[in-house]
Amino acid sequence: MAAVYKTLSSATKEEKPTEGRRNKQRVLILSSRGVTYRHRHLLQDLASLMPHSRKEAKLDTKTKLYQLNELAELYNCNNVLFFEARKGKDLYAWVSKPPNGPTVKFHLQNIHTMEELNFIGNCLKGSRPILSFDAAFEKQAHLRVIKELFTQIFGVPKTARRVKPFVDHVMGFTIADGKIWVRVYQISESEPGKKKTGEDAEAEPAPKKKSKGKTELDVELVEIGPRFVMTPIVIQESSFGGPIIYENKEFVSPNQIRSDLRKAKASKYNRRTEAALENKLKRGDLGLNTHGGRKKEKDPLSDSVLFA
């Protein structure tokens, strides 16, 4: 009898891990040197939303990024979210899956941290988010890769150490204008009778109910922050190395944009100086200058010629 029980129990035990296979993720979050306070706050915000993350000290180098692989291994992390600041203004994010997963490099723009946004939404520290992806993520191969990476990095695994029960926030990833827009909302549920309470927060009309359960609560979202926009630049095959398997053609580096602006400004001056020079030469050729240029031809009918 005992043997029967044992076999039964072992069978169930064996079945358990297969049906509930664990999704184990740990993320190493760190930045390079030269981040501004805003970049730092963004990093903090993200770290506070991700209980499965490990924050590390700033990385000294910006060129030898393969060091991050070792660092991740050291901290038992299988994901790396590395923020690289350049020129004290541009922020790039490297999203990678060491030891041999792909690496995606993003350019981050329109960064607004929780601190400065003053949204009234709030959520438990360490609760697990729902990740909401745009359908456009399924359309292209590189976006599918990005979606998978985000799912693993921003999605909090059930088994993370500091995780709290309940689901009270949602992270939205939407593709618009070739960029990925990220938003974080609190899920606030209220009785369907008194849905006027939270309306002033987002000012959107309350959604109509679909009869799903018996005591269905109305769902409303209140934004928490932070907000940012990511532009994918490059995907590398391995972690911080390897061949480039995707490159965004439409991405224009902020340096290029700035230099174009400067040049546009400079060209105005150049054109004007050129015109001035040309004008001077022309005048010289016509013999109108007192110094240099060509001498004016003598008028054969002038007094000095006629009465020489």
User: Does position 73 bind another protein by CB under 8 A?
Assistant: no
Among 68, 145, 160, 230, indicate the residue that binds another protein (CB under 8 A): 145
Among 4, 264, 306, 308, indicate the residue that binds another protein (CB under 8 A): 264
Q: How far is the CB of 263 from another protein (least distance, A)?
A: 5
Nearest-5° angle of CA 49, CA 137, CA 131? 25
Among 11, 74, 252, 261, indicate the residue that binds another protein (CB under 8 A): 252
Of 242, 241, 239, 244, nearest in space to 73 by CA = 239
Name which of residues 94 to 123 contact another protein (CB under 8 A): 97, 100-102, 114-115, 118-120, 122-123
Q: With CB under 8 A as the rule, give the number of residues binding another protein.
A: 96
Cα distance between residue 252 and residue 109, in whole Å:
13
Give the residues across from 223 on adjacent strands.
Answer: 185
Q: What is the DSSP pairing of strand 53-55 with strand 79-86?
A: unpaired
Give 59's DSSP letter: B
CB 108 within 8 A of CB 151: no
Which of 6-14, 20-28, 31-39, 64-72 is the region at the interface with another protein (rule: CB under 8 A)?
Answer: 20-28
Q: Which residues contact 36 (CB under 8 A, 6 or more apart)?
A: 85, 88, 89
CB 183 within 8 A of CB 172: yes
Name which of residues 185 to 204 contact another protein (CB under 8 A): 185, 187, 189, 202, 204
Which pair of structure tokens corresponds to residue 197? 């309470």
Would you say 70 or 299 has its CB closer to another protein?
Answer: 299
For the chain, the C-alpha Rg in angstroms (whole number) is 32
Would you say 7 or 255 has its CB closer to another protein?
Answer: 255
Cα distance between residue 284 and residue 281, in whole Å:
5
User: Does position 174 bind another protein by CB under 8 A?
Assistant: yes
Q: How far is the CB of 39 from another protein (least distance, A)?
A: 19
Helix, strand, or coil (residue 292): coil
Cα distance between residue 262 and residue 279, in whole Å:
26
Would you say 2 or 135 has its CB closer to another protein?
Answer: 135
User: Does position 183 bind another protein by CB under 8 A?
Assistant: yes
User: Does position 177 bind another protein by CB under 8 A?
Assistant: yes
Name which of residues 147 to 166 contact another protein (CB under 8 A): 147-149, 151-152, 155, 157-158, 164-166
Would you say 3 or 264 has its CB closer to another protein?
Answer: 264
Which pair of structure tokens corresponds to residue 170? 């949602």
Name which of residues 267 to 296 contact another protein (CB under 8 A): 267, 271, 281-282, 285, 294
The half-sphere exposure of 296 on its side-chain side, counting CA atoms within 13 A, is 10
Q: How far is the CB of 4 from another protein (least distance, A)?
A: 28
Q: How far is the CB of 159 from another protein (least distance, A)?
A: 9
CB 144 within 8 A of CB 138: yes
Tokens 């290029």 -> residue: 256
Among 70, 191, 199, 247, indicate the residue that binds another protein (CB under 8 A): 247
* Contact mark string toward another protein, 215..244, x via CB under 8 A: --x-x-x--x----------x-x-----xx
Which pair of structure tokens corresponds to residue 288? 């109108």
Would you say 56 or 218 has its CB closer to another protein?
Answer: 218
